[in-house]
């Protein structure tokens, strides 16, 4: 029965190997430090468990500490063009407009003097949203720039063209009414097509971010389909480094 033992051990080793390769993507291609890292985030709160949506404050601070040690240059997503080919450029981005961005992320951004872009779904329901007063304070700090994320956080692919256009346009106008400008857009759920990219350009956005988990050069070809670095609130230190190096830490 030794063959059975060998097979069992072999299967265990294979399972362990697949787990490591799936959760630590060190084997993905190297990405140059001259390529910008646009980091995708949502919530930063101690009230909820760590997840793909929530990076607790202590983990977010670890991320900021790591980027600071790497001598990162923090910029807004709308500023990516002017930092083309510069090393260690990082654009932190938050989707939706959760109030915890002000309560927990903003103090840490101030502590590390790190810029960030927050994409507001201006009429989203079901979340504790940033107040107008909080948005005004953050915008005036010079550390936060606000972009648009549609009004109602809708899947653009499920809408007719005119409704999709209106959602994008009105969210831009809402943000402009709050802070005076709205240069960038984020597609809700990462769902969009080439028509929506053209809409974003026609409406007057400077660029737009997607949920593609990748690191690549900022070019005209992807200006309205910018990939972002995938994060998770439960990432360990090694996974965090892999994500920033490769664009994603797991499959």
Domain at 156, CATH number: 3.20.20.370
pTM, entire model: 0.94
Instruction: Quote the number of domains for the chain.
Output: 1
The pLDDT tens digits of the residues spanning 146-197 come to: 999 999 999 999 999 999 999 999 999 999 999 999 999 999 999 999 999 9
DSSP state of 152: S
Of 136 and 7, more confident: 136
The pLDDT tens digits of the residues spanning 72-86 come to: 999 999 999 999 989
Cα-based distances in Å from 88 to 10, 114, 195, 229: 42, 13, 32, 14
The answer as to whether 183 is a domain residue is yes
The answer as to whether 251 is a domain residue is no
The answer as to whether 186 is a domain residue is yes
Residue 9, pLDDT score: 63
The answer as to whether 42 is a domain residue is yes
Percent share of the chain, pLDDT over 70 = 95
Q: Which domain holds residue 95?
A: 2-246
The answer as to whether 201 is a domain residue is yes
The answer as to whether 175 is a domain residue is yes
């Amino acid at each position: 029965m030794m063959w059975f033992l060998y097979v069992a051990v072999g299967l265990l080793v294979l399972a362990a190997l697949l787990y490591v390769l799936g959760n630590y993507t060190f084997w993905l291609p190297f990405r140059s430090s001259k390529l910008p890292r646009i980091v995708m985030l949502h919530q930063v709160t101690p009230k909820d468990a760590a997840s793909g949506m929530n990076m607790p404050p202590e983990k977010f601070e670890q991320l900021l500490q790591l980027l600071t040690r790497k001598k990162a240059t923090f910029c807004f997503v709308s500023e990516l063009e002017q930092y083309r080919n510069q090393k260690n450029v990082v654009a932190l981005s938050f989707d939706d407009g959760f109030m915890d961005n002000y309560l927990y992320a903003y103090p840490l951004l101030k502590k590390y003097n790190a810029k960030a872009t927050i994409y507001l779904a201006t009429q989203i329901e079901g979340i504790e949203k940033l107040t107008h007063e909080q948005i005004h304070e953050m915008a005036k700090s010079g550390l936060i720039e606000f972009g648009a994320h549609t009004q109602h956080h809708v899947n653009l692919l499920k809408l007719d063209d005119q409704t999709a256009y209106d959602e994008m346009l009105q969210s831009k106008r809402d943000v402009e009414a709050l802070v005076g400008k709205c240069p960038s857009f984020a597609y809700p759920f990462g769902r969009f097509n080439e028509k929506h990219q053209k809409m974003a350009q026609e409406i007057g956005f400077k660029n737009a971010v997607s949920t593609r988990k990748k690191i690549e050069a900022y070019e005209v070809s992807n200006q309205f389909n910018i990939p972002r670095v995938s994060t998770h609130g439960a990432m360990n230190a090694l996974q965090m480094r892999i994500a920033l190096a490769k664009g994603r830490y797991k499959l």
